[in-house]
Structure 1
Amino acid sequence: MRLIGQRRIATLKGAATVRDGMYERDEWEAEIGPSDDPADWPAGELRDRVLALLGGAPVAPELSMRTLRHHVYAERGGARVAELSLDEGDISAGGLAQHFRELEAELLRDGTRADLDELVGLLRARFPLAPENRSKLARGLALLDEANARSTVDSPAGGGLRANHANPARERPMAGLPSNRLGQALGELLGASARGVLERRALVRPRPRGELGP
């Protein structure tokens, strides 16, 4: 789930195939109200799929992402074929945090894979971009696993209870940004057409019945 201003949006993402930083997968997305319970969401394919996956289990926050996003659209023949997003922010999970700066290029409905490949090729020829084969979600889950491993090691009993941490506080990652200078250059490339959007995401997972936590 993510919060953009006063809007709350839920996204369900299918399994991805990843090659050289390029992601291909199915996504279902819808604007929802204030409730985290999928049963309260607007009727539709997203709601039906999430309810089927949960099987009646409740959901609870597992990790959060806070992102400052600048984006512009790439056009061909007057049609928007891709969205370019320059993201900077932090992933927080289990008391740990990881900073990120990266560029995403996402294919839109009127674009083709050839359009995306050409755009990515032009960007990589202009900037020293390094492909990122792990999504923000994958990096966040890795943080959560690390936090849980530390919690188990630090537990006096060496325990079997899993702590449920919650931090108050699109997606085809094409490339990681290795330096502030590159980020500045990309900002100049985006120019006056860019607009900033402060985006906060909170991932929720099924919480097994009987698990301790809020």
Structure 2
Amino acid sequence: MGRLVRKLRGLGVDTLELDSCEPAPLEYIAETQHRAVVVNYRTKIGKRRWCNGVKCYVLPELCNTIDQQLTAVMQEFAIEVDPDSLLGRCVSCNARDWIITTDKDMVKGQVHPMTLKLYNKFYVCGGCGKVYWEGVMFEKAVTHLRKFVNHDRLDQPVSESDESSDEQTSDERTRWARALRDGTIDSTQARKLHDRMVSEKLTEDLVHDPREKKT
């Protein structure tokens, strides 16, 4: 459920993820916070539609991809996404409070050194401290999420890599790195290099100035 939760948060939807699948804690939190419960059909409560008065939506067994699950949830709860809310919440902790900074010393040690060299503005989550920036992966994420805003659902998630070009060999990466160090490539090329060399984990979740989205 983790990837589904992250995509819902990416759309600006207030979403919690709980480790426990026991009915009692799920029902209590949903009732006290006015939430609905979404579960996988394999869980203990996967056959129930209501949990002591709290709506429990069971993801259809035929929803094999994360985007299919996302579409099903949005249709079930009639979620309408404000384009200005895209990526306005931290996908890691659900917070929507941000510290926007250009002070690279503030985020030093939390991001890749090459990221510090190529980007000047960073967004620090006020909830968990995770650092984000607007890079190529941010642009791809926004493009993908906008398809759900327009109700043009996709069955396949956005690619996490640059599908338009062949993968570079190790020798090519070495030459690019040397050129970047020597200052013989421009900033656009440098950013492309950066997004190939930095691990996917560091660049997959990027945000802009947040706007609240309530459901």
TM over 0.5: no
Q: Work out which of the two has the higher radius of gyration on C-alpha atoms and give 1 or 2.
A: 2
TM-score (norm 1): 0.25
Structure with the bigger percentage of helix: 2
Larger relative contact order (Cα-Cα within 8 Å, sequence gap ≥ 6): 1
More strand by share: 1
TM-score by length of 2: 0.25
